Amino acid sequence: MDSQVMPREQLGVCAEGNLHSVYLMFSANDGVESQLRPCVANIAQYIYDLSDQYADSAFNGFVAIGANYWDSLYPIDRPAQLKPFPAMSSDNRDAPAHEYDLFVHLRCDRYDILHLVANEVCQMFEDLVELVDEERGFQFMDTRDLTGFVDGTENPKGRHRQEVALVGDEDRPFRSGSYVHVQKYAHNLSKWHRLPLKKQEDIFGRTKIDNIEYASEEKALTSHTKRVNLKDSNGKSMEILRQSMPYGSMKEQGLMFISNCRNSVHFEKMLHSMIHGDGEGHHDHLMHFTQALTGSAFFAPSLDFMESVVD
């Protein structure tokens, strides 16, 4: 591979939003790594090719490998910052770890195509893995979370999405890959909807209807936007690319939170700020109305990496 040519990223990592999604979490069977390596590469290429076939429906997706399974599947090399999900707990705020071996993330503006592709992916994996969890997401109103607030307001735009989400020359073997963190949040919507509108807005740090962010000096130190809009030691924003979508039924509903980033540090710092706060008792008060049920860490390598290690 020409060192000057960037490897092909999986298109779903930086894709724009969709109407529907399917999330498939797998555990690998014992001793299948030699068969699974080409299978994973084939599935990733299959998803990549379908983005042309179903371009009118904006189909996209990616395959990611769990932090705890990476060394079994790809023992030769490992992304520099890949580590297990950073489980955290403080008082009644929990961010538990629930690791999976493989994650297949599929999105499209047509639900029937998603169902068709998900079936095909599971058949391609046959006898190599077990489907442990499946969730289906959907766009709610004008890209809002079920709390009623617009989700992903701070997301990078245009080409900056690649700059935020994709590994560069800092870890050359894994260029065009992405660190992926997934959490399933179940919302307590009955408790949330009992709050007055102004109280909800203060917890978020922005208005609900027209999505206008409060001025920094007007935000409570416990507001969601205050807790997740962090800067590094050089004063640069610690950005992630959120690919989250609401999910659920009348029994349980919430947000499938998905962070894609060129490093694992930004997500971990944000989660720490939400759960533990700033060291002066200011944690994210949104956590009083939602509960993280799962937490998983993955890496979505480039297509070229997956193909190069098949043998």
**Active-site residue list:** 151
Ramachandran bin of 4, using left for φ above 0, alpha for ψ from -120 to 50, beta for the remaining angles: alpha
End-to-end CA distance of the chain: 16
Give which of 220, 214, 307, 297 is closest to 257, Cα–Cα: 297
Give the burial class of 294: count Cβ atoms within 10 A of its Cβ; 0-12 exposed, 13-18 middle, 19 or more buried. Answer: buried
What number of helices (H) and strands (E) belong to the chain?
Answer: 9, 12
Give the type of residue at 306. M
Amino acid at 218: E
Q: Point out which residues pair with 88 in neighbouring strands.
A: 95
Instruction: For residue 244, give the DSSP letter.
Output: -
- Indicate left, alpha or beta for 282 from its phi (over 0: left) and psi (-120 to 50: alpha): beta
Q: Taken in order 275, 81, 22, 156, is the CA torsion positive or negative?
A: positive
The helix (H) or strand (E) run that includes residue 41 is helix 33-53
CA distance 237 to 243: 18
What residues form DSSP beta bridges with 157? none
